Amino acid sequence: MMTVITRAAAAAVLVLAASCSSTGTPAAPTGAEPTTAPAATASAGAPPEDRAAIEQVFADYNAALLARDFAASCALTAPEAVQQLIDAVAAQGARAGTCEEAFAAVYAVPEAAAPLDSAARTAEIQDVAVDGDTASVTFSGEANGRRVEGLVNRMQRIDGRWRLLGSS
């Protein structure tokens, strides 16, 4: 079962790259410390109010994952990305009927949770670009002792609120 969940975690990394920036086994997390607003550079392509909202969703999502508040993480995720996560976990043979169950299955395996936690703790926004109701967040993060730059996560405004879509 560990292999199944580890593979499901890898699939989740592809689906929800906002906090899942690479694979490996870095040091175990120190706890669920809340993240601060990520460091970022100015972007001409993002109105200040959108940029602030996007950065807050990004930070809140990572903080929720670190706290294992999967209900909060799922609430910040677009419905299509939630379904992709559930499908990815189920495709690996794990049972997950809800977003929360899918995250719980992935994070139940320390070999999967450790790199995800490291990425969430170290994620830093480099740029935000907004095009109408869609956005791209370029960020970096660390896992397995190495920093990965230039990762991109997509977001979508749904009912006036920004939600994570996954990597592009």
2-167 has CATH 3.10.450 classification: yes
d(CA 109, CA 92): 14
The answer to whether residue 168 scores a pLDDT higher than 90 is no
For residues 59-79, give the mean pLDDT: 98
Q: In this predicted structure, what is the pLDDT of residue 44?
A: 55
Domains of the chain: which residue ranges? Answer: 2-167
The answer to whether residue 25 scores a pLDDT higher than 80 is no
d(CA 106, CA 126): 27
pTM (2 d.p.): 0.76
For residues 53-58, give the mean pLDDT: 98
The answer to whether residue 141 scores a pLDDT higher than 60 is yes
Q: In this predicted structure, what is the pLDDT of residue 144?
A: 83
